[in-house]
Chains A and B, each alone.
Chain A
């Protein structure tokens, strides 16, 4: 019997507790989940590519999320990725605008979202990958 391929999501988040929670709830939703704990690891995984969605924190050790997006522009992924959703904690308009200019699909202010609402947003972006 053919198995339906699970959609792959990469979580780039340095806060351990939040990263672990996102991994748990995304796995429970049936996604294949990979994670990175800092900007360099995140860049390497995004560069390897093949993710349907990347959740990208902006404030990260070693390399911030905006720098990752800039670096990916100049050094494209080996395998194409789907959309990127930025994770931030404040409504930083300049950062969000730069992220949008670099091609992100949207942003989530972490303190405004519960896991249920995050899943809704993730499904919206994944659906738009196919649209």
Chain B
């Protein structure tokens, strides 16, 4: 099997885009979403944030604050 080389900067760039779009919908349009829609987007946000923390850890850039601040569903609207 071929090795896959991942550039952490590029991956974080794409994860940042996903985070920002999810945040816009949750923060700006959140009031007009149904509870189920909010939960789905919260789940996507939590998974994305976990990946950001993981990539930072793997690239040696995570701080203890990053790990502690990784969101749980209850922390998000």
Contact = CB atoms under 8 A, between A and B. Distances in A.
A90 B61 contact: yes
Interface residues of A, number: 16
Interface string B15-28: 11101110110011
B10 to A, nearest CB: 9
Interface in A26-65: 59
Interface of B: 8-9, 12-13, 15-17, 19-21, 23-24, 27-28, 52, 56, 59, 61, 63, 66
Given A90-B12, A90-B59, A114 B17 contact: no
A116 B20 CA distance: 9
B15 A21 contact: no
A119 to B, nearest CB: 10
